[in-house]
Amino acid sequence: MSAIEASETLTGGCQCGAVRFATKLVGRGSICHCRMCQKAFGSFFGPLVTSHDGHWTRGEPKWFQSSDAARRAFCSDCGTPLAYETKFGLELAIGTFDEPEKVPPEIQVNLNDRVSFFEGLSTLPVRETTDEWRDFMSGIHSNQHPDHDTESWPPKEEAL
């Protein structure tokens, strides 16, 4: 697998903004169906992309040694899964990139653990957004870090 140099530095981080990263040299994005990724992400799979030069630009993640061969990084403040690391290198969680569209998965791995209903997910019926739901969503104030680097986070409260 060869590395791909992005045309720009790709950034990302956890939901609360305590941990941020940057990378420019990435490999092939993947969807991992192994049971450890399912548990680590609390999902049906783990979306990851190899980062050959990734580094933490704000804070440091906490690490969990998930096996004798791998450890997983997450934010100790908000719990966001951030990375997976083995002797082969660092892989970053695709959903934590500020622009995940720039690192799409290109391959699926560990199909033996793939949940049986995975293939049919894209055929599930879609519930249209109702006015009631739209009104509910418009009234929510998000405490999530924005999808770009900030000098500091959370923002300082303005003096009254």
Predicted confidence (pLDDT) per residue in 76-101, tens digit: 999 999 999 999 999 999 999 999 99
Burial 17-52 (b: 16+ CB within 10 A, else e): bbbbbbbbebbbbbbbbbebbbebbeeebbbbbbbe
Give the CATH class of 4-110: mainly beta
Q: Which of 11-25, 35-49, 133-147 bottoms out in mean pLDDT, i.e. has the lowest?
A: 133-147
What is the SS3 assignment for the chain?
CCCEEEEEEEEEECCCCCCEEEEEEEEEEEEECCHHHHHHHCCCCEEEEEECCCEEEECCCEEECCCCCCEEEECCCCCCEEEEEECCEEEEEHHHECCHHHCCEEEEECHHHCCCCHHHHHHCCCCCCCHHHHHHHHCCCCCCCCCCCCCCCCCCCCCC
Predicted confidence (pLDDT) per residue in 33-87, tens digit: 999 999 999 999 999 999 999 999 999 999 999 999 999 999 999 999 999 999 9
Query: Is residue 127 very low, low, confident or very high in pLDDT (cuts 50, 70, 90)?
Result: confident
Asked if 18 and 59 touch (Cβ cutoff 8 Å), the reply is yes
Q: How far apart are CA 74 and CA 85, in angstroms?
A: 12
Question: ∠ at Cα 42 (90, 153), nearest 5°?
Answer: 65
- For residue 5, pLDDT beyond 70: no
pLDDT for 133:
81
pLDDT for 76:
97
Token look-up 């994005």 returns 29
What value does the mean pLDDT of the chain take?
90
Asked if 19 and 60 touch (Cβ cutoff 8 Å), the reply is yes
**What amino acid is encoded at 51 in this protein?**
S
- The percentage of the chain sitting over the pLDDT mark of 70, rounded to a whole number, equals 92
Query: Is residue 113 very low, low, confident or very high in pLDDT (cuts 50, 70, 90)?
Result: very high
- For residue 3, pLDDT beyond 80: no
